[in-house]
Amino acid sequence: MFTKESIVVKTWVLAVQNGVKSFEDVPVLHNLRDCVSTILEEGEDNV
């Protein structure tokens, strides 16, 4: 399971925030999409 501190989550959040990838590109893998979505919705900049 992933957490908000997981490097994989942080990498995907940065990729989406920087426009390199879209949220739809985030793999459906355990709770990865949920973690990425939560961080993006909260607008956390300190990834």
CA max distance for the chain: 25
So what's the pLDDT on residue 4? 95
Note the pLDDT tens digit of each residue in 7-45. 999 999 999 999 999 999 999 999 999 999 999 999 866
Indicate the pTM of the whole model.
Answer: 0.89
- pLDDT score, position 6: 98
pLDDT at 45: 64
Give the CA angle between residues 19, 23, 28 to the nearest 5°.
Answer: 140
